[in-house]
Structure 1
């Protein structure tokens, strides 16, 4: 085993979402084990605007990292990217892969993450998170950044996201 990938979906998505599934396929092909925690029960609370379910997501991800017991790569989309970054500060994470990361979940909770190899995919036309904010965040960390002509869901760039993830994993 080369390592273990934990792939966190975004708000109102799921563990079988197209992007997360594409990343899981890449990880398996490259000899990594992976898992996709299910946060849909937390989405049902519809309390993300008040950060009500964020703490529960963070705790769930912490538990998955502890259970993994080996080298871990965290990946996430949107809210899944934010919790992956936040939790990476608490563990020895090998790398981060962030899609459409909310660099400011709100004014109180800016995105922070471990200084590990980081790759980001973000849409120029993201209607929720301005591309400029992500560029600035990535520049400060010297992260690999792929900006694509897409919206927040990155639906037209699933393959490009999977290729970027493969590149990150192959570089470890």
Structure 2
């Protein structure tokens, strides 16, 4: 069995439009789904601790999905949780003033989706991270929220989950 855990961004909640759509997609693949609520927790380190605390008991094949700061959080927790894969959207890597907080890429399959028109997290940050660890990178015609790209994202997510080895 595969469990998919979602980590939302700083300005959103655990069951926003994007996460609900992705959750439906992975449920249709037979996966268990949950989304961690980080509302009220601004510190990324505290968010990582919460993710590890809430998911440390999962014995299933674990796929972490994160958006923006949630991508940073999922990346930082992936190795400790023994995740089988990491799927991130516009991840907050190499942010100005916080470059040293960018997590070390875990040695697992990683897929990054980033919008060319992102005005929050520069697309170059995802390109740099992907090059550092040979992650799969999909650059799409979208902004930071990627709400206009949900169908495309779900295609990438479906492919990632079904092709990431057990």
Counterpart CA distance in 2 for 1:15 and 1:91 is 20
Aligned residues: 162
Divergent runs of 4+, >3 A:
none
Which segments of 5 or more consecutive residues in structure 2 lack a partner in the other structure?
none
Check whether the contact 2:93–2:99 (CA below 8 A) recurs between aligned residues: no
TM-score, normalised relative to structure 1: 0.88
Question: CA offsets per residue over residues 98-130 of structure 1, 9 Å max, x none?
Answer: 000111141321232312111111011111222
Which segments of 5 or more consecutive residues in structure 1 lack a partner in the other structure?
43-47
Counterpart CA distance in 1 for 2:103 and 2:145 is 19
**RMSD, matched Cα:** 1.3
Instruction: Give the match for residue 162 of structure 2.
Output: 170
Matched ranges for 1:23-172 at <5 A: 23-42=22-41, 48=42, 53-105=43-95, 106-172=98-164
Q: 3-state SS of the aligned residue for 2:54?
A: helix
TM-score, normalised relative to structure 2: 0.91
Q: CA deviation at 1:156?
A: 1.1
Q: CA deviation at 1:70?
A: 2.2
Counterpart CA distance in 2 for 1:158 and 1:73 is 18
Check whether the contact 2:105–2:133 (CA below 8 A) recurs between aligned residues: no
Q: 3-state SS of the aligned residue for 2:159?
A: helix
